Amino acid sequence: MSVERRKRAFATLDEVVRDAENLLAKGYGRAGNWDLAQVCFHLAEWLRFPVEGFPKLPLFLRPMFWLFRKTVGKAKRIKYTAEGMPANKPTMPQTVSDPGGDAIAAVAKLKEVAERFKAHTGPIHPSPLFGAMTKDEALQLQLKHCEHHLSFLVPHSS
C-alpha cells in the first residue's frame, strides 16, 4: 500500500516539533525515502546553520553558489517561501544521517535546535544560496523546509 504525502503548514517552530513528536508517538508511513530520524536530523542541521554559521563550501562549488546567490538567490528564497520547496533537490550529504537512526534522539535534537533558533538575538548568518536574511525571513524559509520534509511522513491513525 503506497502512502500519499500530506499537506503541512507550520506557523511556528513549536508546531514543527509537535508534529515530529506526534510522528514519534503514533508511528508513521513513508511517502518518501527518509525516516523520522533522518528528517529530524536534517532539519535540525539546517535550522542550526543560520544561527551558528554555514559549513564552508568546497572551493570548486564556491563560484557556482556565488553566481546563484547574486543572480537568482533572493527570488528563489521568495518563491520557496511563498510556494514551498521542490522535491528531489540535492542537499549537503553531511546533513543526511544513515537510515534507521535513533528517532527519539533526533526529535530531541530538533526540539533543542528549534529552541536555540527562537532564542537567538544575534545576526543571522547569510545563506550560501539565498544570501543575507532577517531572522523572520530565515524562519519562514525554515518553516517551508520543515513542511516539505515532514510532508513525506504520515502519522498512523490511533
Listed by start position, the domains of the chain span 13-155
Here the cell at position 36 is 523520522
Helix 135-150, helix 74-83: angle, nearest 10: 50
CA–CA dist 16, 10 (Å, integer): 6
The amino acid that residue 142 corresponds to is: Q
User: Of 131, 101, 118, which Cα lies nearest the Cα of 24?
Assistant: 101
Residue 143's CB: how many other CB atoms inside 10 A? 19
**What is the pLDDT, as a whole number, of residue 18?**
98
**What is the pLDDT, as a whole number, of residue 45?**
97
**What is the pLDDT, as a whole number, of residue 49?**
97
**What is the pLDDT, as a whole number, of residue 101?**
95
In which residue are the cell numbers 547574486 written? 70
Mean pLDDT by 10 residues, the chain (158 residues): 88 98 96 96 97 94 94 95 90 89 98 98 95 97 97 89
**What is the pLDDT, as a whole number, of residue 98?**
92
CA 35 from centroid of its chain's CA atoms: 14
Do residues 109 and 37 lie in contact, with contact meaning Cβ atoms separated by under 8 Å?
Answer: no
Three-point CA angle 106, 101, 112, nearest 5°: 10
- What is the enclosing helix (H) or strand (E) of 154? strand 153-155
Residues 6+ apart with CB under 8 A from 153: 23, 28, 29, 30, 31, 32, 35, 36, 39
**What is the pLDDT, as a whole number, of residue 127?**
95
**What is the pLDDT, as a whole number, of residue 89?**
86
